[in-house]
Amino acid sequence: MNDKARLNYDAFTRLLEHHNMVVTAAEVHGVVCGLICGGLAQNDIRWQQHFNGLLNDDFALPSEVQKAVNLLFSRVADELLNQTSFELLLPCDEESLDERLDAMMEWSAAFLAGFGVVQQELNKASEELQEMIQDISSITQVSSDFDQEDEESETAFVVLYEHLKLGAILAFEEFGNGHSQTKRPTIH
């Protein structure tokens, strides 16, 4: 499997299934994003411990999966740091809305788990980020809002997707880069 394929949702799913992992590609990406946005840098080895604790019962990952997760961590960190093409790892648009929504909810819950393990001082976050974290928490329970696959539901899905991206970017801006940034004073 080449590097590009490792970052494809279907290929990542096949890799996880091949190694009998009971997590989804969306959960893997969500935890990785949460850890990075919470403040862990790529050179901080604790990220692997947290990842294994959250998604693999504290066991080390199989070698091929570890390589893929390392690549994913590096790619996500680069995308967030350089503010380039950050996207959530979810099923493609051709998949059913239910499948994409389930993956979005999994991503959201995993993001919150990863972020929460690292960033336990949410009270130091901006009011905007605190609201965004609440919104992400609400997205973990959104399934009943999409009764049918129609244009309105697709539009709502895209709005939620973009909101999640914005939330991750905002969290990274406040706590990322391997350390929590000091809050700028408010000028009245």
Report which of 187, 158, 174 is spatially closest to residue 126, judged by C-alpha positions. Answer: 174
pLDDT band, very low/low/confident/very high, at 161 (cuts 50, 70, 90): very high
pTM: 0.88
- Placement of tokens 């990863």 in the chain: 114
Q: What is the pLDDT of residue 46?
A: 86
The predicted-structure confidence for 42-80, as pLDDT tens digits, reads as follows 788 889 999 999 999 999 999 999 999 999 999 999 999
Strands (E), 104-148: none
CA 130 to chain centre: 17
Cβ atoms < 10 Å from Cβ of 105? 18
Q: Does the pLDDT of residue 185 top 50, yes or no?
A: no
How many CB atoms neighbour CB 72 within 10 A?
21
Domains by residue range for the chain, with CATH: 3-175 (1.20.120.740)
Confidence tier at 144 by pLDDT (50, 70, 90): low
Mean pLDDT of 138-145: 75
Among the listed ranges 60-69, 91-100, 137-146, which one has the minimum average pLDDT value?
137-146
d(CA 166, CA 177) in angstroms, rounded, equals 17
